[in-house]
């Protein structure tokens, strides 16, 4: 699969990244390399490999114990924007 700059621009826009022209070139190459590697994985013979199934019943559980918490002012100290003691997060969902 050939990766072009438009594909990288689309992924970058979904990630809210503003990329320079040289970054688009570099990321196009890297994305193509990743796709080639993933395609190589499909060539592996997995006929005798048992599928991995995670048994959630065997997951060890622990008690939910309240511990020390981070002071609100400390937590918000480096927040780019805050309001009423909370982080303000920009809307990123487009409809």
| Residue 89 predicted with pLDDT over 80 | yes
C-beta of residue 17 within 8 angstroms of C-beta of residue 2: no
Decide if 19 is inside a domain.
yes
* Structural domain contains residue 61: no
Q: How many independent structural domains does the chain possess?
A: 1
- Token digits of residue 12: 């970058």
Alpha carbon distances (Å) from 26 to 32, 68, 93: 10, 44, 28
Which two structure tokens, joined as six digits, stand for 56?
A: 């959630």
Domain holding 22, by residue range, is: 1-32
In a domain, 7, yes or no: yes
Task: Tell me the per-residue pLDDT of 27-61, one tens digit each, with 9 for 90 and over.
Answer: 999 999 999 999 998 899 999 998 888 777 777 78
- Cβ atoms within 10 Å, residue 91: 5
Q: 67 vs 44, 64, 72, 85, CA distance in Å?
A: 47, 9, 15, 21
Is there a domain that residue 52 lies in? no
What's the pTM? 0.49
């Amino acid at each position: 699969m050939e990766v072009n700059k438009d594909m990288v621009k689309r992924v970058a826009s979904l990630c809210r990244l503003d990329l320079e022209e040289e970054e688009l070139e570099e990321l196009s190459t890297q994305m193509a390399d990743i796709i080639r590697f993933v395609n190589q994985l499909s060539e592996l013979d997995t006929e005798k490999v048992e599928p991995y199934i995670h048994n959630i019943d065997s997951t060890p559980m622990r008690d939910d114990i309240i511990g020390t918490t981070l002071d609100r002012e400390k937590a918000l100290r480096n927040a780019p924007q805050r309001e009423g003691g909370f982080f303000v997060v920009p809307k990123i969902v487009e409809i």
